[in-house]
Structures are given as structure tokens and as C-alpha cells.
């Protein structure tokens, strides 16, 4: 699959040729939402090959920065993301995938979405200014047990 | 505002202390959705200061990579994003903002969302393999005229 050249701003923003911009590491930002419920499931990256494969297969293929490899989502867990719609943003440096998830979970920790904790808003009180904000869980129940699904595979979270 | 230290995977993934991971450039990925309609409005980045300001103000403040400056969204256009909910992901390297947008538009090109074009899925036919995929517009009408709002300010799109 070929991508278009980025000729000028008008062509990139208002044109009809897919001409994505990859950053200095060759990556483009991706946000993935549930096509039915609408919530954000995960944020990830793709390289050129991952984007081409996602378009061709209709299943999400990312670039794993922690493992430095192509990552066909669900290859290990079975939780494949079928792409219902793939959109690109104005300056063509970000992708939005609307997906249906086999098994209903997208997070390696076992939750439906990777976004299961909220940060309270507002300025810290004088007594709190040296503390980090406390997170509030918005999802309480896991869809699966990560040990059952991933066994002893290395955890992708980097410190 | 302080952020927590990243001690171990369990604390980052299952703990209740905000301990975000900024990349080598000091940035964290952000996805912004409309709190009511749910669609993705934009994908952007924050640095440490932008994240702290967003939490304190309850309005979206990003880091502009094209302008290399803090970017209080709406400062020029008036299209402020009021944050209804701010979530962080499992490994705390991505932010999800659910916002209400004054004026109903978040895209500098004038559309409601930055994601107004779809990439068709499926393998290219033999006759198409040397062509870039053709984009399909999913939003046709602009909410505002960018020239009225931004005048001759430089366009942030980078080629």
C-alpha cells in the first residue's frame, strides 16, 4: 500500500488523498474507541506498516513501543479489535479507530477500557499542594484475569 | 502541583496516585472527546505544566508541538474546552479528556471535530496498489470560517 505525498497544507487538510505524517520515530498517534458504546478503549501508536496492515485486514495492528515490534492486537489474548471505521485528522498525524472488540476488553490489566481511573479537577488546597492527586476508579470489575490470559508474558508497562 | 513517583507496575496500574509517564520529549498523549456526543474531537499532547494547569483550571491546556508553547485551547478562537472528566490509562502514559466545547468546534480547519475524513478498509485491488487510499468526508459543513476566527495567524499544520 502506498501513502500520498504531503504537498501543501490545503491538500493535507482538505484533500482526499491519505498522506499521513509519521514523527521522527516513524510513528503516528492512534486513539481507539468502542464503536457501539463510544468510550475510549486505548491510545497507542502505529508505524507505516501497522497502518497499512490495519487498513488491509480491518483489524487493529499497532506498533508496540515497549516491545519494539508489530502488535496485532488480540494475537495473544484473543481480544481482537475489528475496525468498523478508520478516520484521520485534519493534519493527518493522528488516527481514530472505531472498533468492535471480541471478548469486550481492550486493557492488558483486565478492564474493558485502559481508562478506568479519574483525576479530580480543581486547584489543590494549601494542605494538599505537596501531594500528588488521588485517582478515583471509574470501572471496578475486570472482564478477565490477566494471569489466565497472558500467563507469565512480560508486562508491557514501562516505569 | 506534584505528581507521584513511578515505583512499580502494580502501583502504576492499580494504585490511586497520579504518577504520569512523560516521554523523552517530556510529553504525554491526550485524546479529547465531546462529553455529550462522545466523538473524538482531537488528539494532542501535554507537558507536565499543561497537565497541571488543565487539572487546576478545568479547561484544556495542551503543549503545541508546532509552536513549542503552552496552548490554552480557545485563547485565540474563543472555543474553550471545559473539562467534565479527566481520566488516565493503565500505565499512566495517556490522558482522556471529556469536554464541553464553547461554540461547538474543536478543529482549526473549522469542523466540529478534527476527524472529518474516513479511510476505506480492505486490500487494494491490483490496479490500485500504487495509489494512496482515497479519503471520504464524514463531516461536510464547517462550524466556522477559519479566516474569520484566526485571521492571518500561522496555520499549525506541519508538512
What ipTM describes this predicted complex? 0.89
Task: Select from A91, A123, A139 the residue whose CB has the most chain B CBs within 10 Å, as the one to mutate to test that interface.
Answer: A91
B54-106 pLDDT per residue, tens? 999 999 999 998 889 999 998 888 889 999 999 999 999 999 999 999 877 77
Cell readout for A34 is 468502542
- Using the predicted structure, report yes or no on whether residue B107 has a pLDDT greater than 80: yes
pTM, entire model: 0.91
- So what's the pLDDT on residue B83? 97
- Using the predicted structure, report yes or no on whether residue A103 has a pLDDT greater than 90: no
Q: Contact, A59 vs A81, CB < 8 A?
A: yes
- Using the predicted structure, report yes or no on whether residue A29 has a pLDDT greater than 80: yes
Residue of B nearest to A118 (CA): B87
CA gap A140, B73 in Å, rounded: 32
Q: Between B9, B117, B119, which is nearest A157 by CB?
A: B9
Q: For residues A49-69, give the mean pLDDT.
A: 95
Q: Between A31, A119, A134, which is nearest B86 by CB?
A: A119
- So what's the pLDDT on residue B66? 85
Q: Which of B15, B89, B58 is nearest to B5 (CA)?
A: B15
Contact assignment for B17 to A137 by CB distance below 8 Å: no
Residue of B nearest to A91 (CA): B157
CA gap A61, B130 in Å, rounded: 22
Q: Would you call A45 helix, strand, or coil by DSSP? A: strand
C-alpha dist (Å) from residue B39 to A45, A84, A144, B17, B35: 19, 14, 27, 28, 8
Strands B40-46 and B28-34: antiparallel
Instruction: For residue B153, name the pLDDT band (cuts at 50, 70, 90).
Output: confident
- So what's the pLDDT on residue A147? 84
Instruction: For residue B129, name the pLDDT band (cuts at 50, 70, 90).
Output: confident
Task: Select from B3, B113, B132, B143 the residue whose CB has the most chain A CBs within 10 Å, as the one to mutate to test that interface.
Answer: B132
Contact assignment for B9 to A87 by CB distance below 8 Å: no
Amino acid at each position: 500500500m502506498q501513502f500520498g505525498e504531503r504537498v501543501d497544507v490545503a491538500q493535507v487538510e482538505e484533500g482526499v488523498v491519505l498522506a499521513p505524517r509519521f514523527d521522527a520515530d516513524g510513528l503516528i498517534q492512534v486513539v481507539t474507541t468502542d464503536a457501539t458504546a463510544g468510550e475510549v478503549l486505548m491510545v497507542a501508536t502505529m508505524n507505516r506498516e501497522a497502518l497499512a496492515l490495519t487498513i488491509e485486514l480491518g483489524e487493529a495492528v499497532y506498533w508496540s513501543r515497549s516491545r519494539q515490534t508489530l502488535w496485532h492486537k488480540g494475537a495473544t489474548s484473543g481480544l481482537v479489535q475489528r475496525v468498523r471505521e478508520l478516520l484521520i485528522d485534519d493534519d493527518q498525524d493522528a488516527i481514530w479507530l472505531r472498533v468492535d472488540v471480541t471478548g469486550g476488553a481492550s486493557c492488558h490489566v483486565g478492564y474493558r477500557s485502559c481508562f478506568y481511573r479519574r483525576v479530580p479537577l480543581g486547584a489543590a488546597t494549601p494542605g494538599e499542594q505537596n501531594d500528588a492527586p488521588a485517582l478515583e476508579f471509574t470501572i471496578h470489575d475486570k472482564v478477565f484475569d490477566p494471569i489466565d490470559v497472558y500467563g507469565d508474558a512480560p508486562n508491557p508497562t514501562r516505569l
